[in-house]
Structure 1
Amino acid sequence: MKKYNHKKSVLCFGEMLFDIFPDGRLPGGAPMNVALHLQQHQIPTHFVSRLGEDEEGEALLRYLDERGLSTQWIQKDEKYPSGKVYADVSKSEDVSYEIVYPSAWDFIETTDALKDAAKSSEVFLYGSLAARGETSRATLLELLSLARTKVFDVNLRKPFYDAELIQLLLEQANIVKLNDEELSLLVQWYLGKEASEMHDDDIFHLAEKFSLETVCVTQGSKGASLLSDGILHFQKGYQVSVADTVGSGDAFLGAFLSQMLNNKSAQECLQYGCAAGAYVASQKGATPKVNTQIVRDYFK
């Protein structure tokens, strides 16, 4: 893996919202979750999004303040409401979502200051969901043209994606993180075949097609695979009693990137990410408080 300047910040772009559960609500949104986990792992992190001028927006701003994540790049929208997602957790291993559209985060605007932030950050992280709206998609593509190392968290959410959009976003990326189901779909779309059971060849071929430096594939409780510098690494999963899987992939990615930015080996990054993802799966919600000691306890 190439060397990084861990003193420079990560800029995360995209949705922030409330996940609505049968028994209440919790702050969520994949890029916000990743940003919070990066911050917890001592990586200077900023988050770009947009909120409505409503109670939910104020509550989300308070949440970020309480968690110590900068709100400098959180825009306000007079017309559209803050984001909401209705989560169905009746199957703990297969959470489904109803994502309200449109929401304020579909209308993130480009500013000169934001472009400067993209240029100066060490890593720029983005997902596919924030590209569902024309305004945010245009802003995202402009920032990507300026960013240094670009991390694409594929994070497919029906019905807000298609092969053309995902290809566009893949073509911007240096590093891609996706799960095994997403990999199977991308293999069908872009390689024109059914995915293999082990995925090894699929990962190599996807990386080659899109000139990707790094590809990381999470496989839930089974663990994760990582292609880096032409070598495929694997880390088995850590067994936990699952509370819900909301945000476990985001926890994995935030932890993984924190180790990458501290120039740890590929295997160390993978191990740390899997342990963090397992811990969050054992807790309710996407962003429980976590620290290095909690994660490293899983290694023992």
Structure 2
Amino acid sequence: MSTILCVGEALISLTPPAGTPLVDATDLHLSTGGAEVNVAAHLARLGVPTRFAGRVGQDAFGARLRQTLDDLGVDSRFLEVDPERPTGLYVKDATGSATTMRYYRSTSAATSYRHVPAPALADVAHIHLTGITPALSDDCRQLVEELLALDDVKTSFDVNYRSALWGKGEAAGILRSLAERADIVFVGLDEAGDVWGCRTVDEVRRLLPQPFELIVKDGSREAVAFVGSRVVRVPAPVIDVVEPVGAGDAFAAAYLAARHYGHDPEDALHWGHTLAGAVLQVLGDHGVTMDRTTLEEQIRAEAVNHGA
């Protein structure tokens, strides 16, 4: 079975108890994170052969990230170690109903990642990337451009616009250009509105007609897949949200896994909603231990409950 390669930033996440502002927290939950790490973790749990390539520091946090990938069954052989730069981290700060991400990564090892070695591409049929990586440095941006230009490999790109990394004036054109080169693109309608001014899912499709497969997530309402000329809509389930960060990565991973297994876009949207919904109800970006069998059983149960 062919491998999906996730390339990007590996981070350590520190999270206070649910609903606790950082200023009041006496305990922090330590976990591993980073958008591409989250996707790799979920793909591996769903039984998809998965590899990760990136760069961490020669420190305990970097070792923790490698151990986590290994424990999940993700091929970590191409996780490089930088002897001079540290592993990046971020802290989640709950303020009212919102969660603010406080990043400590400006000189991290991940910002110096420049090249995926040829052996890392062996047996790889699909490369997954996000818009976070090109915002880290010029080298990282060039890396993403080179990977999206590869022949004979499918590519997916999650826009993942992060205003803390770059302003919309700089990001808008670059993210659009990168998305236009990918085979599969994920974007939230909210971030498409922030960075491109799109108000509807159809406006997003008009802005990005090139990707054969474009998935637009409209928050708690629905997710829409534009696949060629076909349009597929699946409503989002009602979820009591504990912590929102990481749900988009879970959605992307589950969607890609479903397509990897040959499911149609409608089934893939259901997979995405179900795994993202589970992540919304826990702390930690990929703390849900849901395998393929459990996910499929939950989808069937939800279909019965809704009279499908």
Corresponding residue for residue 46 of structure 1: 51
TM superposition shift of 1:53: 0.6
CA distance, structure 2, for counterparts of residue 202 and residue 119 of structure 1:
38
Please give the secondary structure, in 1, of the residue aligned with 2:208: helix
Query: Residue deviations 1:62-81, cap 9 Å, x none?
Result: 21122221111100101110
Q: Is the 8 A contact 1:179 1:217 kept in 2?
A: yes
Corresponding residue for residue 84 of structure 1: 89
CA distance, structure 1, for counterparts of residue 271 and residue 176 of structure 2:
29
CA distance, structure 1, for counterparts of residue 161 and residue 205 of structure 2:
21
TM superposition shift of 1:246: 1.7
Q: Could you list the runs of 5+ residues in structure 1 that have no partner in the other structure? A: 1-6, 189-194
Corresponding residue for residue 291 of structure 1: 291
1:125 aligns with 2:128: yes
Q: For residue 156 of structure 1, what is the amino acid of its counterpart?
A: Y
CA distance, structure 1, for counterparts of residue 115 and residue 159 of structure 2:
22
Aligned counterpart in structure 2 of residue 15 of structure 1, from 6, 9, 13: 9
TM superposition shift of 1:121: 1.7
Please give the secondary structure, in 2, of the residue aligned with 1:289: coil
Q: Is the 8 A contact 1:279 1:295 kept in 2?
A: no
Please give the secondary structure, in 1, of the residue aligned with 2:102: strand
Cα distance 1:164–1:118, how it changes in 2: closer, same or farther (>3 A)? farther
Please give the secondary structure, in 1, of the residue aligned with 2:30: strand
CA distance, structure 2, for counterparts of residue 65 and residue 8 of structure 1:
19
Cα distance 1:239–1:293, how it changes in 2: closer, same or farther (>3 A)? farther
Q: What's the C-alpha RMSD, in Å, of the aligned pairs?
A: 1.9
1:265 aligns with 2:264: yes
Corresponding residue for residue 192 of structure 1: none
Please give the secondary structure, in 2, of the residue aligned with 1:76: strand
Please give the secondary structure, in 2, of the residue aligned with 1:142: helix
Corresponding residue for residue 235 of structure 2: 236
Corresponding residue for residue 156 of structure 1: 161
**How many correspondences in the alignment?**
281
Q: Is the 8 A contact 1:115 1:143 kept in 2?
A: no
CA distance, structure 2, for counterparts of residue 97 and residue 242 of structure 1:
17
CA distance, structure 1, for counterparts of residue 7 and residue 147 of structure 2:
9
Q: Is the 8 A contact 2:256 2:268 kept in 1?
A: yes
> How high is the TM-score relative to the length of structure 2?
0.85
Q: For residue 170 of structure 1, what is the amino acid of its counterpart?
A: A
Corresponding residue for residue 246 of structure 2: 247
Q: For residue 181 of structure 2, what is the amino acid of its counterpart?
A: Q
Aligned counterpart in structure 2 of residue 138 of structure 1, from 131, 142, 166: 142
Structural mapping, 1:30-45, within 5 Å: 30-45=35-50
CA distance, structure 2, for counterparts of residue 259 and residue 166 of structure 1:
25
Please give the secondary structure, in 2, of the residue aligned with 1:95: strand
Structural mapping, 1:48-197, within 5 Å: 48-91=53-96, 94-100=98-104, 101-110=106-115, 114-118=117-121, 120-131=123-134, 132-146=136-150, 148-161=153-166, 162-188=171-197, 195-196=198-199
> How high is the TM-score relative to the length of structure 1?
0.87
Corresponding residue for residue 22 of structure 2: none
Query: Residue deviations 1:129-154, cap 9 Å, x none?
Result: 11121222223322322252111111
Please give the secondary structure, in 2, of the residue aligned with 1:122: strand
Query: Residue deviations 1:197-216, cap 9 Å, x none?
Result: xx2421330232xx111111
Please give the secondary structure, in 2, of the residue aligned with 1:18: strand
TM superposition shift of 1:91: 4.3
Q: For residue 229 of structure 2, what is the amino acid of its counterpart?
A: G
Q: Is the 8 A contact 2:243 2:282 kept in 1?
A: yes
Please give the secondary structure, in 2, of the residue aligned with 1:73: strand
CA distance, structure 2, for counterparts of residue 169 and residue 203 of structure 1:
15
Q: Is the 8 A contact 2:252 2:272 kept in 1?
A: yes
Q: Is the 8 A contact 2:181 2:211 kept in 1?
A: no
TM superposition shift of 1:159: 3.0
TM superposition shift of 1:186: 4.5
Q: Is the 8 A contact 2:214 2:227 kept in 1?
A: yes
Q: Is the 8 A contact 1:207 1:214 kept in 2?
A: no
Corresponding residue for residue 278 of structure 1: 277
Q: Is the 8 A contact 2:10 2:54 kept in 1?
A: yes
